[in-house]
Amino acid sequence: MIKRVVIKRRVVRKNVKASDDKVEKFIKPLKIKEEKFLNPNSIYTKMFMIGILILGFVIGNFFVIKPTINSAMLIEPDLQQKKSFLDTSETSKIGLLKKTKEAENQLQQINQSFFYTSKPDEFYTLFSEAALDHQLKIYSLNKVSEDFFKREKKDDPKAFDIFEKYKIVEYELVINGKFIDYLNFIKTLEKYDKSFVITDSVIEEKNNGMVEIKNKIKLSLLNT
Amino acid sequence: MKEKLLALKEKFLQAFRKLMYPLLGSISISKEKRVAIEIQKDSISICQFDGKNQIKQFFNERLEISSDNNIENASEIYEQKIHKIVKKNKLTGFEANLIIPTSYSKIHLIDIPVAEEDAASSDDVIFSNFSKNAQTHEFWKTYEQLGEIKETDEVSHFIVSKNEATLELSVIVAITDKEKILSFKNVLKSCGINANLIEPKLFSIINSILLKKQEIKPFQFGILEYTNDKSYFAIVSDTSFKFTEVEISRSDKVLLKQLEKMPNPEGPFWSEVFERSLENVNSSIEEVNNDENNEIKVKEIYFYSEDNKVNNFISGLKNKFQEIIIKEISLVSSNMAESEFEVKDNLVEYDILKENLLENKTIKLSKKVQKTFPITYTDINKAFPLIGSSLRYLNAFNIKKKFIPKFQINLNPENFKYLENNKIKTSNYLLNSITVLLLFIFSSLIALNLPVYFEKSKVLKQHPNVVQQYDQKLNEIKNISGKFKKIEADSKLANEVQSSNNEYYKLVKNTPSIVPEGVKLNKLKFLDNQAVFEGHAVTDYDLNMFVQNIRDTIGRPDITILNVALILNDDAQSAPIEQNESASNNQQLSQNTSSFRNFKIEVDL
């Protein structure tokens, strides 16, 4: 019984002492982390990163973007010009093709008027047939010369440009007959529209209303 | 070579410090969220400076802790009480400048020679190298005047000045029991406050007084911190610092305590007590005042005591130093209401010159604090050391700012670590900011250029294709054009080669029609584009007709030969007779012959 009283008194005393400064339960804030020595290398790493960043920007901006823009700006007018050319080129091409075709046709027409080296008899056949048709006699036909077509050079009149595509052949032709027949003969030749020229001609009256015609004929032949 | 390199490195470091430290220092200070805290037995005082020119918070709260408890034996109770205050004032996460009683530290002022290798370096390099070397106890143990240094002691230092003549550093060394510091630090730590800057109260007081003193240079003053336990005296000038512990014997302390119960301290007995007690103070003042090199004398002593019952001590002090003005710092403005003044200020009763600390050009109370001050403060005249302390920063880069106090001693055992970490953190912050800024600038520049870049890239990509198409088309057109030109040239050549008989045909075809009846052509020549008509005409008229016809049809006639010839009629010989035969035959001839005009006409075709 006595023991109980003593214990009770002790408990009461303890409570009295603690009541002066009661320690209430309270939620402590998160403890501040212990400060550790930081590694100064992080500064160098960051500086390195900044260096990389600057380098990246410099390379990207000054070695990729700017040069690309500058190069593009330089070529842009050219591109525009070329594009506009392409836009109109088809029309130009068609026009040019048309003109070429026309020129080709013209050339073909001109070429048709030539005698061909591959048909050396054509000239004689044409002349003889025409003469026969108009009661003219071909007395003689002599080839005087044969050469390629030559043209004087502009800068040197003594020198010549030689064109092997064309041959110039000269004949001496003597025909006998009436002038009126010769006249018709000439008209027939004119109709043929062939490339030959009578360079020299002497029409001389002979007996009985006959004339003797001495012609120098220059033929233009196309080498085929 | 090595020396040159070292000198170069030194120059580079100096330039770097000069250039970067002010910037880094300002950043470092702006990043410090800091309050000054003083934990007294039964109260806590907090002051927050805004880092510019205003005191943002300034209050004092009672902790209501029983008198037999202190922070060392009842830390949990302190934690609980302080935590509430911290939470209420939203101070969690702050760093703190903690003021501890000066008596916790043994303070010494010693002169230390500059290390030989640093002699040529700049002051900040010397101070920095010194601080690095002064991290160990072994370093300090070499200075006997510091006395015994235990392992449990924390040795802190602050370089006051460098004597250029003797190349010595004047260093304040404070030796403090780590346990005592940690007991305060840990309480605040568990409340969420990091007390990483700890200073003895004497330096907080000095720094507060300097707020006013620094405005007028040169200055020199004494400061006496008087407590029941220990007292300290310092003479502070703009260039020097002198410190001494006031050694008052135990019996004199008892007497001085009894003095406050007396009406006044007059009489030879009390004069003797004061003579003994203030012997150190007196000798320090005399030493300074008798120094011929020292132009400014100590003419004022600031007095600070936490004890309110010091009226007689102050009177004794005044009696002892009659030529010196005894001053006290106040925070109460002169225009404050008298009643309010009396309630809060007990010291107003005794006759002492007061200086209002808040009347300075560096800092002022914020409007918010002005509304509640000094009602929020229980003991207004004991609060001013907090203001000086609140101006303290770790200041790792040791920059100079108007408000930063001169005396920057830090008793924190981890001070060096904090300073180094602060340097690294600030540098990292600056570098991070630079990185972000550069990223922003670069991204903006790239973003601005990128659409143009993509557009131009397309152009560049397109260009070769277009060029190829262009070349192809151009070649096609060139080919066609070439072909056309060739055909044209061929046509031109063919036309040139092609012979035409037009003129000859014209001549032959026209000849029959242009020859009149009286004209007979014998020969027609066509030579070199020239026609030659040879024949004879019966009459001139016929010839004229013929010539006229040639002109009209073929071209301009040129008669090169014209003569008259005779021809025998009918059966007669047909050969013409020349006209120039003899005149006798003329008549006969005219009967048998006819006359003709022989002609030769040339015409250019």
- What are B176-206's pLDDT values in tens digits? 999 989 999 999 998 999 999 999 999 999 9
Is the separation of the CB atoms in B259 and B208 below 8 Å? no
So what's the pLDDT on residue B495? 84
Catalogue the E-assigned strands of B306-361: 325-330, 353-356
Q: Is the pLDDT of residue B267 over 80?
A: yes
Cβ under 8 Å to B: A residues 140-179? 149, 151, 163, 165-166, 168, 179
So what's the pLDDT on residue B370? 84
- What are B315-349's pLDDT values in tens digits? 888 888 988 999 888 887 554 444 444 434 444 44
Q: Is the pLDDT of residue B350 over 90?
A: no
pLDDT band, very low/low/confident/very high, at B389 (cuts 50, 70, 90)? very high
Q: Write out the residue range of the structural domain in which residue A201 sits.
A: 116-222
Is the separation of the CB atoms in B281 and B244 below 8 Å? yes
So what's the pLDDT on residue A7? 44
Q: Is the pLDDT of residue B234 over 90?
A: yes
Average pLDDT for residues B261-269, to the nearest whole number?
85
**B-chain residues within 8 Å CB-CB of A163?**
493, 497
Q: Report the domain count for chain A.
A: 1
Instruction: Please tell me the CATH code under which domain B502-604 is placed.
Output: 3.30.70
pLDDT band, very low/low/confident/very high, at B48 (cuts 50, 70, 90)? very high
CA separation (Å) from B217 to B202, B235, B385? 22, 15, 22
Is the separation of the CB atoms in B49 and B55 below 8 Å? yes
- What are B431-486's pLDDT values in tens digits? 898 999 999 999 999 899 889 999 999 988 888 999 999 888 888 888 888 888 88
Instruction: Give the closest-approach CA distance of B325 to chain A in angstroms.
Output: 45
Rg (alpha carbons) of chain A, rounded to whole number: 58
Q: Is the pLDDT of residue A96 over 50?
A: yes
Instruction: Give the closest-approach CA distance of A28 to chain B in angstroms.
Output: 7
Cβ under 8 Å to B: A residues 48-67? 49-50, 53-54, 56-57, 60-61, 65-66
Which residue in the set B65, B420, B421 is minimally distant from A21, CB to CB?
A: B65
Domain spans in chain B, listed from the N-terminal domain onward: 216-359, 426-498, 502-604
Q: Could you tell me how far CA B583 lies from the centroid of its own chain?
A: 137
So what's the pLDDT on residue B173? 93
pTM for this model (two decimals):
0.66
Is the separation of the CB atoms in B515 and B491 below 8 Å? no
Write a three-state SS string for A165-204. Answer: EEEEEEEEEEEEEEHHHHHHHHHHHHHHCCCEEEEEEEEE
- The per-residue b/e assignment along B185-207, b for 16 or more CB within 10 angstroms, e otherwise, is bebbbbbbbbbbbbbbbbbbbbb
Fold of B216-359: Nucleotidyltransferase; domain 5 (3.30.420)
Tell which wins on pLDDT, B122 or A131.
A131
Quickly count helices (H) and strands (E) in chain B: 17, 20
Contacts of B293 (CB under 8 A, 6+ apart): none
- What are B516-526's pLDDT values in tens digits? 988 988 899 98
Is the separation of the CB atoms in B227 and B303 below 8 Å? no
- What are B61-120's pLDDT values in tens digits? 888 888 788 888 888 889 989 999 999 999 999 999 999 999 999 999 899 998 877 777
**A-chain residues within 8 Å CB-CB of B62?**
none
B189 interface with A at CB cutoff 8 Å: yes
Classify the complex by whether its ipTM is higher than 0.95, answering yes or no: no
- What are B487-500's pLDDT values in tens digits? 888 888 888 887 66
So what's the pLDDT on residue A3? 45
Mean pLDDT of chain B: 85
Q: Do A183 and B490 touch (CB under 8 A)?
A: no
- What are B549-600's pLDDT values in tens digits? 999 988 899 999 988 877 666 554 444 444 444 445 555 555 677 778 899 9
Which tokens hold the place of B14? 């100096």
Work out the percent of chain B whose per-residue pLDDT is above 70: 91
